[in-house]
Amino acid sequence: MDEQELIRQGAEARVYKTVVNGRPVIAKQRFSKSYRHPDLDVKLTRGRLNQEARSLKRCKENGIRVPDVIRVDKNSATLFIEFISGPTLKEWIIANASEEQEKERMASVGRILHKMHSFDIIHGDLTTSNMILYNGDQLVLIDFGLSQISPSTEDKAVDLYVLERAFISTHPNSERLFATVLEAYANSEAARLTLRRLEDVRQRGRKRDMSG
């Protein structure tokens, strides 16, 4: 592995851009938490590492565009994945001026999330920063560090709620954009059940906001 360039450090991992066998890759290294018992820390860290790799592979197997998993290094708790170049959906929305293009793009997001949920893949951290536009038009989902496999309608509704809150906080006056996402998402009875559960999740969120 060649020289590493730190591009982000979060609460759970450091993310580097590097090169493996001449190929640009992202290395996501999870770090230990000193407040946890060492044995528990190793178990939890490896569990999250393996789950992220499994979620990415499950997406790939079912035709959902995500980075390729190149290698999982359990000793260093590092996941090596394909580097995807392109602007994030967040950057695209901010720069884009065409309402027609926005509607088309949001519909694409809704269809992809419907497909992901139909295979019981819960992303866990859906934001417009965790979607990349590759080659200008191909939407790629990234950062599955909080993902899980679950058939739960509640988990799927919470996934959508997280994205809705991201739209509200990041993109002012974006209600129409998210409405288009949900309209495209709702193309099966299971998806419509999830949207009805989303309403319950919203109500709980409003109650929490009011109570502080």
**Which are the catalytic amino acids?**
125
Phi-psi sector, 123: left (phi>0), alpha (psi -120 to 50), beta: alpha
Phi-psi sector, 120: left (phi>0), alpha (psi -120 to 50), beta: left
Structure token digits, residue 53:
């790799």
State the CB neighbour count (10 A cutoff) for residue 123. 27
Closest Cα partner for 78 from 147, 14, 10, 144? 14
Q: Parallel, antiparallel, or unpaired: how do β-strands 78-82 and 121-122 relate?
A: unpaired
- Please give the Cα distance from 135 to 185 (Å, whole number): 24
Residue reference for tokens 């997406």: 59
